[in-house]
Amino acid sequence: MHNSRVRKIQLNQTHGYWRFCVAPMMEWTDRHCRYFHRQLTRHARLYTEMLTTGTLLHGDAARHLAFDGAEHPVALQLGGSEPEELARAAKLGARYGYDEINLNCGCPSQRVQRGAFGACLMAEPSLVADCIKAMQDAVTIPVTVKHRIGVDRHEDYGFVRDFVGALHGAGCHVFIVHARSAWLKGLSPKENREVPPLDYSRVLRLKQDFPSAEFVLNGGISSLSAAREHLGAVDGVMLGRAAYHDPYLLVGADRALFGDASSATTRETVVLKMTHYLQRQMRIGVAPRHIVRHMLGLFQGLRGARQWRRTLSDADALQRYGADVLMVAFEAVRDPPALLPGAP
């Protein structure tokens, strides 16, 4: 069966798989972070940090692509602009078992501008369409794109509509849209996450103009209640830094957004599970700091949270306690029987 036919069937079967996602974040959403997040939510779709085609094709692909099976559903985000190289990288991702290949057309950092990928690609929709086609021909899993609503002076709705139209015509059916423009000149990556104004209405217009496509809204969403409100107008929502800095909010996502309370868990249970994970990873040479750094916000807003962060950030404590450092840090924190995030 031809790849396009297989993909169409799969997309029909996977409608709703993008209902709630945790954003790809450079230097944050590595495999240890994703494993941690999966202990908090069964249903959220997780994303790798962006990996360039050069990193995968000319570097240690196994080190970058290996992940734990518990992470599913998990997507590989690629950075690149050469169709043939993206196709080869997508094949690698599919071979390693990822559930989706996502093309980064939204990152505004200087690093990606120099590499001719990221947000600057929005100015070249025909090239991006060729990239999408090449990846779709190479794999049967969904190929999606993450992008902004504009770039620099191209901020009229027609610009993003034509960009989405070109990709939709190439067979892309899932669009993750950060509802800000990328101002590539004069703003840092951090400023690009905050200064350009949010315009959710642009994403809603895209959904109206392309009703057969799925649109996932990203940008400025910091709570599950806000996520639930947006789901009345779009197919999915994506949280980024809110989920990273206050990860326990993910526990409420399964009940609030998927109607599934069976996976609700306590912080203590998460600490125990991550202790076992830390033990396994240390046996293969992974330093504790690479894992516990993603857990600093687990007790955000609770008594003892500062001591929790202090212990996990202390090089001497990590050296002294090793795999037991999470339990040592947990002793300074009392986990109150509070309502789960997102509970009605």
pLDDT tens across 194-253, in order?
778 899 999 999 999 999 999 999 999 999 999 999 999 999 999 999 999 999 999 999
Domain boundary pick from 258, 282, 308: 258
For residues 64 and 212, membership in a common domain is answered with yes
Question: How is residue 141 annotated by DSSP?
Answer: S
CATH (domain of 288): 1.20.120.1460
For residues 183 and 35, membership in a common domain is answered with yes
Q: How far apart are CA 238 and CA 172, in angstroms?
A: 18
For residues 60 and 198, membership in a common domain is answered with yes
Which pTM does this prediction carry?
Answer: 0.91
Binning pLDDT at 50, 70 and 90, where does residue 288 land? very high
* Residue 120 a catalytic site member: no
What pLDDT, on a 0 to 100 scale, did the predictor assign at position 293?
Answer: 98
Half-sphere exposure of 164 (CA within 13 A, CB side): 29
Domain span at residue 293 reads 267-330
Q: How far apart are CA 217 and CA 19, in angstroms?
A: 10
Q: DSSP letters of 218-281?
A: ESS--SHHHHHHHTTTSSEEEE-HHHHHSGGGGGGHHHHHHS--TT---HHHHHHHHHHHHHHH
CATH (domain of 35): 3.20.20.70
pLDDT tens, residue by residue, 49-92:
999 999 999 999 999 999 999 999 999 999 999 999 999 999 99
Q: How far apart are CA 188 and CA 11, in angstroms?
A: 36
Q: Which is higher by pLDDT, 5 or 103?
A: 103
The phi and psi torsions of 330 (rounded to 5 degrees) equal: -65, -30
pLDDT tens, residue by residue, 196-208:
889 999 999 999 9
Domain boundary pick from 203, 229, 258: 258
What pLDDT, on a 0 to 100 scale, did the predictor assign at position 337?
Answer: 42
Residue 310 lies in a domain: yes
Question: How is residue 156 annotated by DSSP?
Answer: S
What pLDDT, on a 0 to 100 scale, did the predictor assign at position 335?
Answer: 47
State the catalytic residue, choosing from 107, 120, 131, 172.
107
Query: 11-15, 43-47, 260-264: which range is least confident on average?
Result: 11-15
Residue 314 lies in a domain: yes
Query: 40-49, 144-153, 160-169, 192-201: which range is least confident on average?
Result: 192-201
For residues 203 and 305, membership in a common domain is answered with no
For residues 147 and 30, membership in a common domain is answered with yes
Are the CB atoms for 292 and 312 separated by under 8 Å?
yes
Q: Which residue has the tokens 């209902």?
A: 19
Tokens representing 159 are 């610009």
Q: Which is higher by pLDDT, 119 or 175?
A: 175
Whole-angstrom CA distances from 316 to 104, 310, 319, 320, 325 are 38, 11, 5, 6, 10
What pLDDT, on a 0 to 100 scale, did the predictor assign at position 339?
Answer: 45
What pLDDT, on a 0 to 100 scale, did the predictor assign at position 155?
Answer: 80
- How large is the average pLDDT for residues 5-14? 48
What pLDDT, on a 0 to 100 scale, did the predictor assign at position 128?
Answer: 97
Binning pLDDT at 50, 70 and 90, where does residue 310 land? very high
Element (H, E) at 135: helix 125-138
For residues 208 and 225, membership in a common domain is answered with yes
What pLDDT, on a 0 to 100 scale, did the predictor assign at position 287?
Answer: 97
For residues 233 and 84, membership in a common domain is answered with yes
Element (H, E) at 36: helix 31-38
Residue 49 lies in a domain: yes
- What total number of domains does the chain contain? 2
Residue 341 lies in a domain: no
Whole-angstrom CA distances from 40 to 43, 277, 328 are 9, 14, 21
